Structure 1
């Protein structure tokens, strides 16, 4: 990991809220979300509700623990559904994305949706909470993440050369989970003040007035610069040429940046080239990192799961390695219930782990993906985003959803970044047990999660060793 990556730990931007909950067909104007009692044996239902800070101004809404648990479960469900949709587009490719970023950007959009448009969005995004409840939950999670984020905190890397007194050396990684939102509105267009105020209160989405009508290219460059600044320059040119034009009226953006050291780092001296078998059966030598630690681990029918904690104690990477020769069958059936079952079965043996160093960069248009998930009206002239506008004007639709992501995993930790832009146009249109081994030398799945809230921050799959590492 290069020195410049270790020194950039002070990005601007408020911490972003968690993603969506379970499917609901409730009207977004109805502030009474439905809730079933959580299952006693579901790990996604068992976490304690954090002591959320008060967000001003807001109504006095009591979010029950069970309601938030349903929200979290839906969050994981949406992440896995989105992974399945993106995988189907290119089954042989490695991919990586942030369901967190996608869900937040679309939650801001959902705040202005009405009628069938809102119902479809809630179903596709697995929202359980309705109306202001949903946005209160996003804002509450924002405050919880902000409380735990220690900007620029250094941790002892554990490498030879660290000070004997345990102080971190100058190259030690820190921890950062920063996220920011912004509203880019066409100057002069009659947006509803209550809609803009809601985005500012719950998402801290600063309102930027731009001239989409007269200078769309200048506005596009301004948005891209904002994204680059808030992702440590890892996400560049999020909005490509031609994505913004004179009919664009609103762009809602989210940018998230993550940098964390492992709690148990990998010694670079133990990293060595070993064969990785890709999904098509071909073998490629990749750099495999090695460590032996007591880690949360489960094995069911030959399918292995291990959880690698980061040094801040609240985030981790979960790696799922399907049984040899069964990746495609396992991936097809991998859902929130199966993940919950595997997490339930974890114990803490000494794990002899081999894991590739890897990096992935991905760019997606999510229009077709979200349509396949049932969000159809939003992209047509039948869209109802009347909650965004002041008066009788209701001629807006989603022209594009663009998502870009970056990931690098090495011996010291993980750096990840992602950004999402929603472009809205006016219509012209237990105790340690025996030692186990886990060698990740074939296709695998992974996700980075915030453990106290169970929010999946990033999700990915690795199936192609040839493109796994830079030469």
Structure 2
């Protein structure tokens, strides 16, 4: 039987709320000077014990997504480098929490970039700084679109037709707006052209819980029902005006599956040296992209679409905190640029966990405090009707790794690297201690998922 090996991250639900009490009058249309295209979307009515479906209006700009953006390759490379800087900066903000971590920096960055389309003044500047973005906003959105298209294209490049194998990548964006909020046409157009996002019209004022359930239902559907109930009860209220959501779902078979018959119970030593027993998988004598550093080892495992890989960074015994402290963009680039094809005997634990992150404090620490401050937040690019602020950024991700595959996307195109002319003894890498991992899209060098395993 094939195992399920998925990693999924839904992230970044951004709550943009009014800084003042809601108005009494409520109309039934989204106000916009753009002639909207309206469709319907079924959701369960929260007060209906029978679970009968209700229909939501789906409003989108007349403009279609630009599927062939004229974007210079240097802009895409700059954005990918900026996203890597953000991934490491955000990890640095949350790594003092105990235990395993999984998050999607790409998903958080994507949702916040959508929000940036409506930010102005110091709010915009602070968000750009927090996201480590060097591009002007006019270049950011087309560059993100080009980057998304490059990643989406890679899922069609499967290098094997192994029976029972699987590869799927789903990226989805959506906006949920108060039904009578007059949204600026330029904001809707930017999101439609560059992110393919339309707007679901919901009534936060009169029925915030129904809106919450509708968003959770969308998230669950887009992630194959692996992430459910993302938004807890009470997180959305009558002051909420807009929710921007991004979901990522990744499911992929390894190019080199582990032999399930070789999986054993074996010791794993946690950060404090405690011995626990974990399921240890074995992959013997395979040509893998590998590096031995001063106090760590690194190895990349390709998926069937070899544009995606999982890169493992394994500190030596007792050196986890030292390597974690040292890890920055320069170190990561040095590691990735010096990986080389070696014959490796790899042993690593299976793992399965999820992480819930309220990202407000990390993002404020990175410089976007104005966006959360009701006195100074400026999202006038979204609407002129009300003064808005971000109240919450919620992130949830889940990862499962087993013999057949793993969770997120990391990219390596050099699986066929040079091999030695004479047979050599395989390098042994036994991962029986905490390690970090990244799932990357190698053609663009984009980190889709990042995390650590301290207790499988």
Q: Compute the TM-score of the two structures, normalised by the length of structure 1.
A: 0.78
Q: Does 1:451 align with 2:442?
A: yes
1-side partners of 2:270 and 2:340: how far apart?
Answer: 29
Note the C-alpha offset of 1:155. Answer: 4.9
Structure 2 unaligned segments of length 5 or more: list them: 9-62, 410-416
Change (3 A) 1:309 1:57: closer
CA contact (8 A) 1:61 1:133 kept: no
The 8 Å contact of residues 358 and 394 in structure 2, kept in 1 or not, is answered as yes
Contact 2:223 2:247 in 1 (8 A): yes
* Contact 1:316-1:449 at 8 Å conserved across structures: yes
Name the counterpart of 1:24: none
Matched, 1:388 2:379: no
Give the whole-Å Cα distance in 2 for the aligned partners of 1:238 and 1:256.
Answer: 13
Find out whether 1:290 has 2:282 as its counterpart. yes
Q: Which residue of 2 aligns with 1:162?
A: none
Matches within 5 A, 1:251-266: 251-266=243-258
Aligned to 1:83: 91
TM-fit CA distance, 1:344: 1.8
CA contact (8 A) 2:176 2:243 kept: yes
Whole-Å separation in 1 of the counterparts to 2:306 and 2:108: 25
> What is the rounded CA distance, in whole Å, between the counterparts of 1:231 and 1:458 in structure 2?
15
Aligned to 1:98: 104
Structure 1 residue 56: deviation in Å?
A: 5.5
Q: Secondary structure at the match of 2:367?
A: coil
Q: Is the 2:281–2:349 contact (alpha carbons within 8 Å) kept by the matching residues of 1?
A: yes
Partner of 1:401, secondary structure, is strand
1:52 maps to none
Q: Distance in 1 between matches of 2:159 and 2:220?
A: 24
After TM superposition, the runs of 4+ consecutive aligned structure 1 residues lying more than 4 A away are 55-62, 153-157
Q: Which residue of 2 aligns with 1:69?
A: 77
After TM superposition, list the pairs within 5 Å mapping 1:328-407 onto structure 2.
Answer: 328-381=321-374, 382-390=376-384, 393-407=385-399
Following superposition, the deviation at residue 80 of structure 1 comes to 1.2
Aligned counterpart, 1:314: 307
Measure, in 2, the Cα distance between the counterparts of 1:409 and 1:311: 15
Q: C-alpha offsets along residues 323-346 of structure 1, whole Å, 9 cap, x if unaligned? A: 221110110110111011111221
CA–CA distance in structure 1, aligned partners of residues 68 and 343 of structure 2: 47
* Distance in 2 (alpha carbons) for counterparts of 1:407 and 1:315: 16
What do residues 226-283 of structure 1 show as CA deviations (whole Å, max 9, x unaligned)?
A: 0000001111111100000000000000011001111111000111111000011101
CA distance in 2, matches of 1:56, 1:453: 24
Asked if structure 1 preserves the Cα contact closer than 8 Å seen for 2:2 and 2:404, the reply is: no
How much has 1:62 moved relative to structure 2? 5.1
The answer to whether residue 173 in structure 2 is matched with residue 181 in structure 1 is yes
SS at match of 1:374: helix
Match of 2:187 among 195, 209, 213: 195
Contact 2:401 2:407 in 1 (8 A): yes
TM-score normalised to the size of structure 2?
Answer: 0.81
Gaps of 5+ in 1: 12-54, 158-167, 418-429
The answer on whether the counterparts of 2:76 and 2:146 sit within 8 Å (CA) in structure 1 is no
| Alignment deviations for residues 277-318 of structure 1 (CA, whole Å, 9 cap, x no partner) | 001110111111111211110111131000001111110000
Preserved contact between residue 310 and residue 316 of structure 1 (Cα < 8 Å): yes
Q: Is the 8 A contact 2:130 2:368 kept in 1?
A: yes
Aligned to 2:135: 129
* Cα root mean square deviation, aligned: 2.5
Give the counterpart of 1:268 among 236, 260, 264. 260
Q: Distance in 1 between matches of 2:68 and 2:196?
A: 19
Work out the CA distance in 1 between the residues paired with 2:68 and 2:316: 49
Is the 8 Å Cα contact of residues 250 and 408 (structure 2) preserved in structure 1?
Answer: yes
1:214-293 equivalences in 2 (<5 Å): 214-292=206-284, 293=286
Q: Does 1:323 align with 2:331?
A: no
* Change over 3 Å in CA distance of 1:77–1:245 after alignment to 2: same
Contact 2:287 2:342 in 1 (8 A): yes
Specify the SS of the correspondent of 2:361: helix
Total equivalences in the alignment: 390
Question: Contact between 1:347 and 1:432, CA under 8 Å: does it hold in 2?
Answer: no
C-alpha contact (below 8 Å) 1:384/1:394 kept by paired residues:
no
Higher strand share: 2
CA distance in 1, matches of 2:399, 2:66: 36
CA distance in 2, matches of 1:407, 1:58: 32
